[in-house]
Amino acid sequence: MRTIDAPALKAWIGDGQELAILDAREDGEFGRSHLFWANPCALSRAELRARAILPRPGVRICCVDGGEGGLAETLAKTLKAMGCTDVSVLAGGTRAWAAAGYVLFSGVNVPSKAFGEWVEHQYQTPSVDPGELKAMMEGGQDMVVLDSRPMDEFHRMSIPGAIDVPGGELVYRIGDMVPSADTTIVVNCAGRTRSIMGAESLRSAGVPNKVVALRNGTMGWELAGFSCDRGRSASFPRGTPASLATALARATAFADRWGVRTIDRAALPAMLADANRTTHVLDVRDPEEYLAGHLAGSRMAPGGQLVQGSDNWIAVRGARVVLVDDTGVRARMTGGWLRQLGGWEVYVLTDGLAGPLETGSWQPDCPEAAALSPASVSPKDLAAALAAGTAQVVQLTRSLDFREGHPPGALWGVRTRLAALRPRLDPARRIVVVAPDAAIGRLAVPELEALGRGPVALLAGGLAAWKAAGLPLEANRRDPEDADCIDVYLRPYDRNDGVEAAMREYLSWEIDLVHEVARDGDARFGQV
In this structure, the answer to whether residues 376 and 450 fall within a common structural domain is yes
Domain contains 526: no
- Whether the link from the prior residue into 364 is cis, omega within 30° of 0, is no
Q: Per DSSP, which regions of 270-354 are E strands?
A: 279-283, 299-300, 316-317, 320-324, 345-349
Q: For residue 68, what pLDDT is reported?
A: 86
Average pLDDT value for residue range 228-244: 97
Q: What is the dihedral of CA 415, 417, 418, 424, to 10 degrees?
A: -140
From 205, 236, 267, the end of a domain falls on 236
Q: For residue 53, what pLDDT is reported?
A: 97
pLDDT, tens digit (0-9, with 9 covering 90-100), for 469-480: 999 999 999 999
pLDDT, tens digit (0-9, with 9 covering 90-100), for 199-218: 999 999 999 999 999 999 99
Domain contains 355: no
From 465, 480, 495, the end of a domain falls on 480
Average pLDDT value for residue range 293-309: 97
Give whole-number Cα distances, 84 to 8, 88, 198, 312, 423, in Å. 20, 11, 37, 20, 37
What single-letter amino acid sits at 133? Answer: L
pLDDT, tens digit (0-9, with 9 covering 90-100), for 93-144: 999 999 999 999 999 999 999 999 999 999 999 999 999 999 999 999 999 9
How many independent structural domains does the chain possess? 4
In this structure, the answer to whether residues 100 and 9 fall within a common structural domain is yes
At CA 426, angle to CA 424 and CA 428, rounded to 5? 180
Domain contains 208: yes
Average pLDDT value for residue range 4-31: 97
Domain contains 504: no
Share of the chain above pLDDT 90, in %: 98
In this structure, the answer to whether residues 257 and 217 fall within a common structural domain is no
At CA 362, angle to CA 359 and CA 365, rounded to 5? 130
Report the 10 Å Cβ neighbour count for 128. Answer: 17
In sequence order, what are the residues at sequence separation of 6 or more whose Cβ sits closer than 8 angstroms to the Cβ of residue 73? 1, 63, 89
In this structure, the answer to whether residues 90 and 131 fall within a common structural domain is no
pLDDT, tens digit (0-9, with 9 covering 90-100), for 390-420: 999 999 999 999 999 999 999 999 999 999 9
Domain contains 376: yes
Q: Does residue 69 carry a pLDDT above 80?
A: no
Domain contains 485: no
In this structure, the answer to whether residues 128 and 232 fall within a common structural domain is yes
In this structure, the answer to whether residues 152 and 93 fall within a common structural domain is no
Q: Does residue 76 carry a pLDDT above 90?
A: yes
Average pLDDT value for residue range 474-501: 96
The CA distance from 42 to 2, in Å, is 20
Q: What is the CATH number of the domain that holds 181?
A: 3.40.250.10
From 90, 110, 130, the end of a domain falls on 110
The CA distance from 16 to 347, in Å, is 19
Domain carrying residue 434:
370-480
In this structure, the answer to whether residues 415 and 386 fall within a common structural domain is yes
Contact present, 174 and 244 (Cβ < 8 Å): no
In this structure, the answer to whether residues 452 and 386 fall within a common structural domain is yes
Residues 214-247 as b or e (16 or more Cβ within 10 Å = b)? bbbbbbbbbeeebebeeebeebbeeeebebbebb
Burial zone of 210 (CB within 10 Å; 0-12 exposed, 13-18 middle, 19+ buried): middle
pLDDT, tens digit (0-9, with 9 covering 90-100), for 32-58: 999 999 999 999 999 999 999 999 999
Q: For residue 1, what pLDDT is reported?
A: 84
In this structure, the answer to whether residues 158 and 208 fall within a common structural domain is yes
Band (433; pLDDT cuts 50, 70, 90) = very high
Domain contains 501: no
Domain contains 165: yes
